[in-house]
Amino acid sequence: MKKELLKLVGLFIIVINTSCEKFLEVSSQQEVLEETIFKDGANMRIAVNGVYRGISEPSLYGKNLTWGMLSAMGYNYEINSDLGTAERQVADFNWENISAQELTEQVWKKTYNVIANCNNIIQQAESKDSTFFEHGEMEKRLIIGEMTGLRGMLHFEMLRLFAPSFKANHNGSALPYVTAYPTKQPEHIGMELFFKKITTDMEKARELLASIDTIKYDYSLWRLLQGRIKQINNTKVPEGLFFTMRAQRMNYHAATVLLARMHLYKGDHKEALRYADTFYQFNKKKNRISWTPAIYQGSINLVDLVHIKKIDELILAGHNVRNFDNWEAVTIPPSAYQMKNMDILFQNDRDDYRYVGYYNRYSDKRYLTWARPRSNDATTVIAQGPIIPMIRLSEAFHIMIECLLEEGKKAEAFALFKTIRTNRGAKRILNENMTVEEMKEELYQDIIKETLTEGHTFYLFKRLQRDIYNGLSNRIMKPEEWTIPIPYSESSY
């Protein structure tokens, strides 16, 4: 029965995903499928899991929004003939190129299709009495909270890609913010209203998930790695597997850091600091500020045992068992996805684990995060390989540091910065007497080092409206290059 239901869910997703525009109509076939899929709480759980599979596909966080398109746009890689054609074109911000257009359209369509699935599940869950769910009101809140948070997060990705940065002072319409299923001709709205809707969704998700992650599962799951991230042997709870692995589902802590990320992108340092500090203080009090042990970063000779995803530090992550396969499919050419000017990026920190532990470990000038261990070590393959980092502990630290510097609180920022660098093996002692601007430059370099091949470098430079540093010099950016044009096939919205 479960296998047949999975087939129905797959067919339902195909119906939705046929075209981004097609979620504006509901066919009779689709209505029949919905009646079957959402007939009970167990089936709704399968639909929820389908959303998580969707965001972890290569079209989104399984490649494009991490080590693929976004890392190419951030100049993490050498832009050479071995890099994929589409990645070369987006790295040149050549938005008129057909390969670049096909790639960005793929991101647009998949994102709005997953949003449509989120909206459908939210509406179905909200329409049900709590008795519909095996675990009553708690499960209902969890599903609505998770799907609402994912909806906000995905819309935020669209804002950062397909709209100008807030620093560019754009006052026109931006993008459609879709909160209903089906939606006919969703209206493009301005950036301020769009941002308000994003943060409203994330606040709602945070509120719905608060008691679940800070009370109910705080001790049984969040204090243990195997309760947060899928491992060989995972922690069990009486409610079942659906409620475990909380860092691989939208959760209260992820929503908190996402709100900090969102407000930082908008330039609201006060609000960004408030959310980042809330996360920090809660976890500090619980003694859960957990960094990857040095032995599993750079202080290890056996490269196959390196914690390639630094899973101890993850607050939110995707999961795709084909991660290694997807990486290997495009790294057959010897120069494909080789890192750019790493010796220059780390010229003052050659002992940094992010350099000695993760770069060129197989003498291929690549980064280790996505590479299959040569010995096929079971622990790494099973427990690390499928993981897709989306939010980690260090981001909360970076946000606090930047915001504290904006407030002139250099000593507090310096202490947090020292914590990050110590836990990454960087022995160079920063000068406490450096200016705020000098410390900011060190911070921006650290953000690049921390997020190599994870898709954040481009967003950093777009937020700051600074030319993209590519090792030797800056890639001079034209104003129109920062914003991906809305796909032609969708411009009828």
Domain containing residue 35: CATH number: 1.25.40.390
pLDDT in the model for residue 271: 99
What CA–CA distances, in Å, run from 459 to 71, 161, 167, 189, 399?
10, 8, 12, 22, 14
Pair 273, 350 in one domain: yes
Give CA–CA dist 414/235, Å, rounded.
Answer: 37
Pair 12, 146 in one domain: yes
The answer to whether residues 197 and 155 touch, using CB atoms and an 8 Å cutoff, is yes
pLDDT in the model for residue 493: 42
Pair 19, 162 in one domain: yes
Q: Which of 213, 115, 106 is nearest to 156 (CA)?
A: 115
Pair 198, 301 in one domain: no
Pair 166, 304 in one domain: no
The answer to whether residues 259 and 206 touch, using CB atoms and an 8 Å cutoff, is yes
Does some domain include residue 493?
Answer: no
Q: Please give the backbone phi and psi of residue 270, each rounded to the nearest 5 degrees, phi first.
A: -65, -50
Give the contacts of 137 (CB within 8 A, at least 6 positions apart).
Answer: 130
Taking each helix axis as running N to C, give the angle between helix 436-450 and helix 393-406, from 0 to 180 degrees, rounded to the nearest 10: 160
Does some domain include residue 244?
Answer: no
Pair 91, 198 in one domain: yes
Give CA–CA dist 10/23, Å, rounded.
Answer: 16
Does some domain include residue 447?
Answer: yes
pTM over 0.75: yes
Q: Domain end: 166, 191, 208, which one?
A: 208
Q: Domain end: 156, 174, 208, which one?
A: 208
Give CA–CA dist 97/87, Å, rounded.
Answer: 11
Q: What is the full per-residue pLDDT of the chain (493 aa) written as tens digits? A: 444 444 444 545 544 454 444 444 444 556 656 777 898 999 999 999 999 999 999 999 999 999 999 999 999 999 999 998 999 999 999 999 999 999 999 999 999 999 999 999 999 999 999 999 999 999 999 999 999 999 999 999 999 999 999 999 877 778 999 999 998 888 999 999 999 999 999 999 999 999 999 999 999 999 999 999 999 889 999 999 999 999 999 999 999 999 999 999 999 999 999 999 999 999 999 999 999 999 999 777 789 889 999 999 999 999 999 999 999 999 999 999 999 999 999 999 999 999 999 999 999 999 999 999 988 777 788 889 999 999 999 999 999 999 999 999 999 999 999 999 999 999 999 999 999 999 999 999 999 999 999 999 999 999 999 999 866 778 999 999 999 999 987 764 4
Pair 96, 190 in one domain: yes
Residue 238: cis peptide before it, omega within 30 degrees of 0: no
Does some domain include residue 235?
Answer: no
Pair 187, 277 in one domain: no
Q: Domain end: 157, 175, 208, which one?
A: 208
| β partners of residue 316 | 391
Pair 170, 300 in one domain: no
Q: Is the dihedral of CA 409, 414, 416, 417 positive or negative?
A: positive
> pLDDT digit string (tens) for 106-136?
999 999 999 999 999 999 999 999 999 999 9
Q: Which of 438, 443, 391 is nearest to 417 (CA)?
A: 443
Q: Is the dihedral of CA 128, 57, 307, 424 positive or negative?
A: negative
pLDDT in the model for residue 12: 52
DSSP for 209-235 reads HHHIIIIITIIIIITSHHHHS--SS--
Pair 272, 201 in one domain: no
- Number of residues written out for the chain: 493
Instruction: Give the chain's domain count.
Output: 2
Angle at 113 between CA 261 and CA 369, to 5 degrees: 50
Pair 83, 177 in one domain: yes
The whole domain housing 369 covers: 268-474
Give CA–CA dist 226/221, Å, rounded.
Answer: 8
> What six digits make up the tokens of 483?
């914003």
Pair 182, 282 in one domain: no
The answer to whether residues 93 and 481 touch, using CB atoms and an 8 Å cutoff, is yes
> What six digits make up the tokens of 458?
């481009």
Does some domain include residue 305?
Answer: yes
